[in-house]
């Protein structure tokens, strides 16, 4: 989390929406062999639990149950050039959105894992035009075999640490120049977030 409080955003509804909008992140945990990270889709349930799954062979999977872990999601980001400012005697920087979630992780049972997989595919299929894929198209034997190769987990999130670094430390005119520069570079999502934050 960025140390400057101007880059914080204290709206839990926005934080929660971003988890499912971004949908993919990293799980960090200390293990006897040193720190490890796993990359995985993430799903936030209505109960506030963040759920994910890992391959059973993942180096982190055998250490997560009952452990304290950190989930990190990266949102839109982009380089900010000093040439976009009226006063160009400033340093380059990077605007970005990131969420850190800290909590205790527990292994899920089979039913929970199946529900997670169905919910993840439903979320992502809804983002694609056309008739969605559903699990009933799979051979049940093949599904059970694949299910046996992964482990489901849920994190009871104790702390949310968001960073919304969107040039809030600049005046309105400078922010408008940064938005224009980002749009010209193809960083439309980040520019859109900056526009929303300035309202």
CATH of the domain at 44: 2.30.110.10
What's the CA angle centered on 131, arms 125 and 133, to 5 degrees?
A: 50
Range of the domain at 152: 5-197
CB neighbourhood size of 102 (10 A): 16
Residue 84 to residues 30, 174, 175, Cα–Cα distance (Å): 41, 8, 9
Gap between the Cα atoms of 66 and 43, Å rounded? 19
Pick the residue with more confidence: 125 or 197?
A: 125
- β-strands 93-107, 49-55 pairing: unpaired
Tokens 């702390």 belong to residue: 159
Which has the closest alpha carbon to 94: 18, 186, 2, 11? 2
Asked if residue 1 has pLDDT above 80, the reply is no
What is the pLDDT, as a whole number, of residue 116? Answer: 97
Instruction: Band the pLDDT of 170: cuts 50, 70, 90.
Output: very high
What's the number of domains the chain is made of? 1
For the chain, percent of residues with pLDDT exceeding 70: 98
The average pLDDT across 43-65 equals 95
Once rounded to an integer, what is the mean pLDDT over residues 22-38? 96
- DSSP label at residue 58: S
The residue-averaged pLDDT of 150-156 equals 98
Query: How many Å apart are CA 95 and CA 14, to the nearest integer?
Result: 18
Reference 93, options 77, 107, 104; nearest CA is: 77
Tell me the C-alpha distance between 134 and 161, whole Å.
34
Q: Largest Cα–Cα distance in the chain? A: 65
Residue 74 has pLDDT above 80, yes or no: yes
Which contiguous run of DSSP H or E holds residue 96? strand 93-107
Q: Per mean pLDDT, which range of 11-15, 65-69, 82-86, 158-162 is the poorest?
A: 11-15
pLDDT score at 11: 85
pTM: 0.91
For the beta carbon of residue 29, count every other beta carbon within 10 angstroms: 17
Q: How does residue 87 score in pLDDT terms, banded at 50, 70 and 90?
A: confident
As a whole number, mean pLDDT of residues 7-33 equals: 91
The mean-pLDDT minimum among 40-44, 93-97, 195-199 falls in: 195-199
Judged against a pLDDT cut of 70, whether residue 198 lies above it is answered with no
Q: Is the pLDDT of residue 155 over 80?
A: yes
HSE-CB at 36 with a 13 A cutoff on CA atoms is 16
């Amino acid at each position: 989390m960025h140390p400057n409080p101007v880059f914080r955003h204290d709206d839990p509804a926005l934080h929660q929406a971003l988890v499912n909008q971004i949908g993919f992140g990293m799980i960090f945990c200390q293990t006897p062999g040193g720190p490890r990270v796993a990359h995985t889709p993430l799903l936030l349930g209505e109960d506030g639990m963040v759920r994910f799954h890992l391959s059973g062979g993942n180096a982190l999977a055998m250490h997560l149950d009952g452990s304290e872990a950190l989930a990190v999601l990266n949102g839109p980001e982009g380089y900010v050039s000093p040439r976009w400012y009226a006063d160009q005697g400033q340093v380059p920087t990077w605007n970005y959105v990131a969420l850190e979630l800290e909590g205790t992780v527990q292994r899920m049972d089979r039913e929970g894992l199946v529900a997670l997989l169905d919910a993840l595919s439903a979320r992502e299929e809804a983002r694609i035009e056309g008739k969605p894929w559903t699990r009933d198209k799979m051979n049940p034997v093949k599904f059970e075999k694949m299910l046996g190769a992964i482990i489901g987990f849920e994190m009871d999130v104790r702390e949310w640490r968001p960073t919304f670094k969107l040039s809030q430390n600049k005046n309105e005119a400078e922010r408008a120049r940064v938005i224009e520069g980002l749009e010209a570079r193809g960083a439309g999502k980040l520019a859109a977030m900056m526009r929303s934050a300035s309202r």
